[in-house]
Structure 1
Amino acid sequence: MKTFTPKPADLTHDWYIIDATDVVLGRLSTQVANLLRGKNKPTYAPHADSGNYVIIINADKIALTGNKMGKELYSHSGRPGGLRRDSYAELLANKPERIIKAAVKGMLPKNRLAKVQLDRLRIFRGAEHPHTSQQPQVFEIKQISQQSK
Structure 2
Amino acid sequence: MYFMAVIMFLLGFLFISLGRISSDNIKDINALLVDNRNIQETKGSLQVIEIRSTRYSFECDCELIFTNQNGKEFSYKETYFSFNSKASFLRKCENKGKVPVTVIYDKSLPSKHFVKELKPIEVNKNSRVGYTIIGVLFILLGLFIVAVNFK
Q: TM-score range by the shorter chain?
A: under 0.3
Higher strand share: 2
Q: State the structure with more CA Rg.
A: 2
Task: Give TM-score scaled by structure 2 length.
Answer: 0.27
Higher helix share: 2
Task: Give TM-score scaled by structure 1 length.
Answer: 0.27
